[in-house]
């Protein structure tokens, strides 16, 4: 594909919010590498005695490659695999997973288990044996997550030494949710808007998850966790029709910590349904800055 055509594609795909070309990996495949082709490996990742379903998207080229751990939300209907594929085209290995007790993974689903699974997945990418097997640079591992996955990404960044950055996509603040369900009206709204449609893929009891939310502080207080990790590269990308009302609060928690902050609050829904290209470009730009 010619440079002129690539430039045209980039300009067409550019978000109206950002009047500049998007990264080439959004619009074009890399040249095939016959010796080290891009590929996908599905396996079960061990976590606290259970096996969770995982997929590793391997970039082409000899490597070693930097690695991105990409975490989905509750229950994971939106897996953001377009982001995974674009990051792979940009030269990153990408690990995705289903937490314990979700989508056929072994064990019981809970928010505490999600945090443990995410941390164990990050350590999997840092492990020298796995790094050698898959061509990973264990010193260049980052984590990203959407919604519940954003909370888990922040928690993983805080808990696992050596991670190079966290990219949070409309992240859910569990402590704030816990406070919101303290009233009958708030509880009814949360159950109708969230849990009623999310429970079928999960091996969990609704009341157990609600009890976790009621006791989410301080471990799942996103404001506090953002303050802890903002001394390193951090992305905060919010959706105004999603959880964007939290944007100013989390931005205030992140500022002044000396890290490299990428932040936005876009006029879209929680799934970024009409901003997928903009979201992909933002993630790739953030990853490129880390490299």
Per-residue model confidence as pLDDT tens digits over 77-118? 999 999 999 999 999 999 999 999 999 999 999 999 999 999
Task: Report how far residue 186's alpha carbon sits from residue 197's, in angstroms, rounded to the nearest whole number.
Answer: 17
Q: How many CB atoms lie within 10 A of CB 141?
A: 25
Residues contacting 127, CB < 8 A, separation 6+: 138
Residue 4 has pLDDT above 50, yes or no: no
First to last CA, the chain: 25
Per-residue model confidence as pLDDT tens digits over 32-75? 999 999 999 999 999 999 999 999 999 999 989 999 999 999 99
Output the CATH code of domain 38-290.
3.40.50.1820
Residue given tokens 């969230």 in the structure block? 194
Q: What are 20's two structure tokens?
A: 């500049």
Per-residue model confidence as pLDDT tens digits over 137-179? 999 999 999 999 999 999 999 999 999 999 999 999 999 999 9
Question: Domain segments of the chain: what residues?
Answer: 38-290
Q: Break the chain down into helix, strand, coil percent, rounded to 5.
A: 45, 20, 35
Please say whether the dihedral angle defined by the alpha carbons of residues 98, 102, 107 and 112, taken in this order, is positive or negative: positive
- Does this model's pTM top 0.75? My answer is yes
Ranges 22-26, 209-213, 265-269: which has the least confidence: 22-26
Looking at the chain, the whole-number percentage of residues with pLDDT higher than 70 is 93
């Amino acid at each position: 594909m010619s440079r002129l055509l690539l430039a045209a594609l980039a300009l067409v795909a550019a978000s109206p919010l950002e009047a500049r070309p998007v990264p080439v990996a959004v619009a074009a495949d890399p040249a095939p590498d016959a010796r080290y082709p891009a590929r996908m490996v599905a396996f079960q990742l061990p976590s606290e005695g259970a096996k969770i379903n995982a997929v590793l998207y391997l970039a082409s080229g000899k490597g070693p490659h930097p690695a991105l751990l990409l975490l989905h939300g509750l229950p994971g209907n939106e897996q953001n695999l377009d982001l995974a594929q674009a990051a792979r085209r940009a030269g990153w290995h990408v690990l995705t997973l289903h937490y314990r007790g979700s989508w056929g993974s072994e064990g019981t689903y809970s928010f505490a288990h999600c945090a443990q699974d995410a941390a164990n997945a990050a350590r999997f990418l840092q492990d020298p044996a796995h790094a050698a097997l898959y061509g990973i640079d264990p010193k260049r591992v980052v984590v990203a997550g959407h919604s519940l996955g954003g909370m888990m990404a922040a928690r993983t960044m805080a808990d696992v030494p050596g991670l190079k950055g966290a990219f949070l996509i409309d992240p859910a603040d569990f402590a704030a949710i816990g406070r919101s369900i303290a009233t009958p009206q708030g509880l009814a709204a949360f159950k109708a808007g969230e849990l009623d449609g999310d429970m079928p893929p999960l091996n969990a009891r609704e009341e157990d998850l609600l009890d976790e939310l009621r006791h989410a502080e301080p471990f799942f207080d996103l404001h506090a966790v953002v303050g802890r990790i903002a001394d390193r590269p951090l992305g905060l990308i919010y959706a105004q029709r999603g959880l964007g009302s939290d944007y100013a609060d989390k931005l205030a928690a992140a500022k002044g910590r000396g890290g490299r902050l990428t932040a936005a609050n876009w006029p879209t829904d929680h799934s970024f349904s009409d901003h997928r290209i903009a979201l992909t470009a933002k993630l790739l730009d953030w990853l490129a800055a880390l490299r």
